[in-house]
Chain A
Amino acid sequence: MAVIEATGLGKSYGGKAAVIDLAFRVEPGSVTGFLGPNGSGKSTTMRLMLGLDNGDGRTTFDGVPFRSMKDPMRHVGALLEAKAFHPTRKARNHLRLLAAANGIPDTRVDEVLAMVGLHSVTSAKPKGFSLGMGQRLGIAAALLGDPHALILDEPANGLDPQGITWLRNLLKQLAGEGRSVFVSSHLLSEMALLADQIVIIGRGQLIASGAMSDFITSNARTAVIVRSPDMALLGPALAARGADAQHSDEGAYDVTGIEQSVVGDLAHEVGARLHELSTRRATLEEAFLDATGMSEEFIGGVQQRAPMGQGSPGDYGQQGEHR
């Protein structure tokens, strides 16, 4: 088990701040998703955590900084970029090289190659590997030392749908074994299925961290959908309870600030008929876009593109989810 604790992380490039006083904690037994728009500083943060970039702050793994560790791959497994290998060094030799530095037996190399589905190409030169195979080799390297903590930067990049499902199950299993898994991804729908905890950054600063479910529930787009021919009766009753009812495009009302069950009770009390009563929960995408202030940028982009007949909100998973 390894608690990952980052405090005061900071990094500037040519006077421009890329990461600003970032602090968060990754607990064992969970998958923590690391989210942020492109260029928000996710990869820089991960490099800072591992001491690969020079900057401010400190990251410890059970109290020990990465650069102070003996046999670090036995404690922390990292995947920072796809295809970080010599093109003619065989896959098995690439891992043996890393294993040699960390006192890991060569037998473990074949184990992890089998684990990531590369057992048939152990003697192949990676220059012919696809991006997905390169990612699998990188994941194998991260798992080589059977580490307590994993730091993975966009590990799903290049994986096919089956590969993404495999990766999700693997990371959940590893977290279930008590490891700390810290993983960045721009695939929000995938992250919604994978992560229990989230750390969200924007422009290098922390925007939110905590449980995924709390983050989504607290988003303003979570609302009770009410469709009733008797809104003249129900509306004032909702207002009296402090709820806010807004007329939506579909002829229903989006009611916020009140639970679905309370709306049902109120309708019964005032004698209002209900044709629909449901809760629409925000998606991770909606919550993320709101939190990072990207919703308006997104809408602006669509409006600009629309006359050219390219793209639609649906392409980006913007539709609310009715449950």
Chain B
Amino acid sequence: MTAALRYEWRRLWSIRSTYWLIGITFGLQLAGTLLAAMGTSAVENVFDAAETVSQIITLGAATGLSPLFTAYIIAMFGVFCFGHEYRYGMIRATLTAVPDRRAVFAAKALITALLAAVMSVGCSLIGMFSSLLFLDTRGALSSDTVWYVVLGAALFTVLFGLCGMAFAALVRNQTGALAMVLLVPLVAENIIALILRIVSQDGGDAVELAKVLPFDAGAQMYASSFADELNRFLGYDPLGAVGGGLVFTAFTALLVAGAFALFLTRDA
């Protein structure tokens, strides 16, 4: 396992895409959160500050109205860890250097998860820094609300990164995996949710199924109370951070397990 980890660690830091992805993620997060903080009116109390900081560090994703932008960029690390192997024919070189496929897969999953967690927390810290520059949000830093959002966003990003990795391992095509990372949560889930709402217009409860759509459910991990109200308005009670997190975790686990099983049995 250590051989596979050494290999994966060097693989990660010996290609340019790692550096530009990190730069883009942190750069856009800094620019976005600075603009968001500048555009926010003064906070009145600690509760208001906690809500404000939560919205700034997630660039509005905590409202449930927009996706967690940084998670989509960070998920590319997951896609690239297998995508590059297949795009450039490196997989055979990899498996002749480390023939233990279980170890190769586990190392990629571990490093993807670790990187996603560190980068997500880094993005949250950047958001806090931006808030402090323009707003009196020092009190919010001791609020559980903010730290739950930080934790939730990190868990969501880790799971999203693993989904990206699993997509790439399943389809063995980098472009296809990138498309899936964008289209499944942003397009497919919204179309399904819309269909469920239409079906439920005559009083049915099919719309309740929308709350178990995995990426939407996972977003509950960093959602604020505003997002809860939005979901109720759309016709269903959300699962909450724990329930939503469990649904997204189960989905990710299934996806990763499928990718793992195929990685072990397919020809390289």
Contacts and interface: CB of A to CB of B under 8 A. Distances in A.
Q: Are A and B interaction partners? A: yes
Interface of A: 47, 50-54, 66-67, 69-73, 76, 78, 80-81, 83-90, 93-94, 96-98, 100-103, 141
A142 to B, nearest CB: 9
Interface in B4-63: 4, 6-7, 9-11, 14-16
A97 B11 contact: yes
Nearest to A66: B99
22 contacts: A47-B268, A50-B96, A51-B99, A52-B95, A52-B268, A54-B265, A67-B100, A69-B99, A70-B3, A71-B3, A72-B99, A76-B96, A78-B96, A80-B93, A84-B89, A84-B90, A86-B15, A96-B10, A96-B14, A97-B7, A98-B93, A101-B3
Q: Which of A84, A85, A101 has the most CB of B within 10 A?
A: A101
Contacts of B7: 97-98, 100-101
Contacts of A94: 14
B267 A98 contact: no
B92 A80 contact: yes
A84 B268 CA distance: 13
Contacts of B16: 88
B233 interface: no
Contacts of A52: 92, 95-96, 267-268
Nearest to A84: B89
Contacts of A101: 3-4, 6-7, 97-98
A270 B88 CA distance: 71
A19 B16 CA distance: 40
- In this complex, the interface size class of chain B, counting residues with CB under 8 Å from chain A, is 20 to 34
A73 B7 CA distance: 13
A47 B100 CA distance: 15
Interface of B: 3-4, 6-7, 9-11, 14-16, 84, 88-90, 92-93, 95-100, 265-268
Nearest to B9: A100
Which A-B residue pairs are the 7 nearest by beta carbons?
A101-B7, A52-B268, A93-B14, A53-B267, A67-B99, A84-B89, A101-B97
A47 B92 contact: yes
Given A52-B268, A53-B268, A98-B93, A86 B10 contact: no
A102 B3 CA distance: 7
B268 A100 contact: no
Nearest to B87: A86
Contacts of A96: 10, 14
Contact of B93 (A51, A90, A100, A141): A141
B243 to A, nearest CB: 40
Contacts of B88: 84-87
Nearest to B4: A101
Contacts of A93: 10, 14
A70 B100 CA distance: 9
Centre residue among B3, B16, B97, B266 by max chain A CB count within 10 A: B97
B268 A97 contact: no
Contacts of A86: 15, 84, 88, 90
